Amino acid sequence: MMLYHDVLIVGGGLAGLRAAVGLCDKYDVGLLSKVYPIRSHSIAAQGGINAALANNPNGKDDTWEKHTFDTVKGSDYLADQDAAELMCQEAIKVVYEMEHWGCPFSRFPDGSIAQRPFGGAGYPRTCFSTDLTGHVLLNTLYERSVFKGVKVYPEWFVIALVNDGGQCHGVIAFDLKNGEIVPIRAKATLFATGGYGRVYFYSTNALINTGSGIGIAYKAGVPIKDMEFVQFHPTALIGTNILMTEACRGEGGYLTNKDGERFMKRYVPNAMELAPRDIVSRSIQTEIDEGRGLEHPLGKYINLDLRHLGAEKILARLPGIRNICLDFIGIDPILEPIPIMPCQHYSMGGIDTNERCETDVKGFYGAGECACVSVHGANRLGGNSLLETIVFGKLASFAIDEYLQNGEIKTDEGLLMSRKEEMEKKIHGLIREGKEKPYTILADLSKTMSSLVGIFRKKEELAQALKNIEAAKERYRHVHVSSPKLHMNHELLNAVELEYMLDVAHTIALGAHLREESRGAHFRRDFNARNDTDWLKHTIAKIGKDGEPVISSKKVMITKYQPMERKY
Least Å distance, CB 291 to ligand FAD, is 29
User: Of 364 and 535, which CB lies nearer to ligand FAD in the complex structure?
Assistant: 364
Q: Is 540 in the site for ligand FAD (CB under 6 A)?
A: no
Least Å distance, CB 151 to ligand FAD, is 14
Strand 180-191 relative to strand 523-524: parallel, antiparallel, unpaired?
unpaired
Q: CA 467 to CA 453: how far, in whole Å?
A: 12
Q: CA 446 to CA 344: how far, in whole Å?
A: 11
Q: CA 354 to CA 204: how far, in whole Å?
A: 28
Which of 7, 20, 49, 217 is the binder for ligand FAD (CB under 6 A)? 49
Which of 117, 183, 213, 250 is the binder for ligand FAD (CB under 6 A)? 213
Q: How many CA atoms lie within 13 A of 445 on its CB side?
A: 30
Q: CA 236 to CA 234: how far, in whole Å?
A: 7
Least Å distance, CB 442 to ligand FAD, is 16
Residue 351 Rama label (left phi>0; alpha psi -120 to 50; beta): beta
Q: How many residues bind ligand FAD (CB under 6 A)?
A: 47
User: Of 333 and 368, which CB lies nearer to ligand FAD in the complex structure?
Assistant: 368
Which 281-340 residues touch ligand FAD, going by CB under 6 A?
A: none
Strand 180-191 relative to strand 168-175: parallel, antiparallel, unpaired?
antiparallel
Strand ordering across the sheet containing 549-555: 371-372, 350-352, 224-225, 537-543, 549-555
Q: Is 14 in the site for ligand FAD (CB under 6 A)?
A: yes
User: Of 21 and 158, which CB lies nearer to ligand FAD in the complex structure?
Assistant: 158
Q: Is 79 in the site for ligand FAD (CB under 6 A)?
A: no
User: Of 45 and 510, which CB lies nearer to ligand FAD in the complex structure?
Assistant: 45
The amino acid that residue 133 corresponds to is T
To which H or E segment does residue 501 belong? helix 490-514
Least Å distance, CB 204 to ligand FAD, is 5
Residue 92 Rama label (left phi>0; alpha psi -120 to 50; beta): alpha
- Backbone CA torsion sign across 67, 69, 74, 79: positive
Q: Which of 277, 317, 380, 515 is catalytic?
A: 277
- 374: cis peptide before it, omega within 30°? yes
User: Of 243 and 462, which CB lies nearer to ligand FAD in the complex structure?
Assistant: 243
Q: Is 94 in the site for ligand FAD (CB under 6 A)?
A: no
User: Of 106 and 209, which CB lies nearer to ligand FAD in the complex structure?
Assistant: 209
Burial class of residue 244 (count of CB atoms within 10 Å of its CB; 0-12, 13-18, 19+): buried
Which of 9, 12, 87, 190 is the binder for ligand FAD (CB under 6 A)? 12
Which 125-144 residues touch ligand FAD, going by CB under 6 A?
A: 133-134
Q: Is 48 in the site for ligand FAD (CB under 6 A)?
A: yes
Which of 22, 30, 47, 333 is the binder for ligand FAD (CB under 6 A)? 47
Is 277 among the residues known to form the active site? yes
Least Å distance, CB 388 to ligand FAD, is 7
Least Å distance, CB 49 to ligand FAD, is 6
Q: For the range 208-213, what are the long-range contacts, defined as Cβ-Cβ under 8 Å and sequence gap of 24 or more?
A: 208/34, 208/35, 208/39, 208/40, 208/41, 209/41, 210/497, 210/500, 210/501, 211/347, 211/370, 211/500, 211/501, 211/504, 212/496, 212/497, 212/500, 212/501, 213/10, 213/11, 213/158, 213/351, 213/370
- The residue range among 42-50, 69-77, 104-112, 398-406 that interacts with ligand FAD, by the rule CB under 6 A, is 42-50
Least Å distance, CB 219 to ligand FAD, is 12
Which of 385, 397, 450, 518 is the binder for ligand FAD (CB under 6 A)? 385
User: Of 71 and 389, which CB lies nearer to ligand FAD in the complex structure?
Assistant: 389
User: Of 203 and 448, which CB lies nearer to ligand FAD in the complex structure?
Assistant: 203
Catalytic sites, residue numbers = 277
Residues forming the site for ligand FAD (CB under 6 A): 10-16, 32-35, 37, 40-42, 44-49, 133-134, 157-158, 192-195, 204-205, 208-209, 212-213, 243, 245, 346, 368-370, 382-386, 389
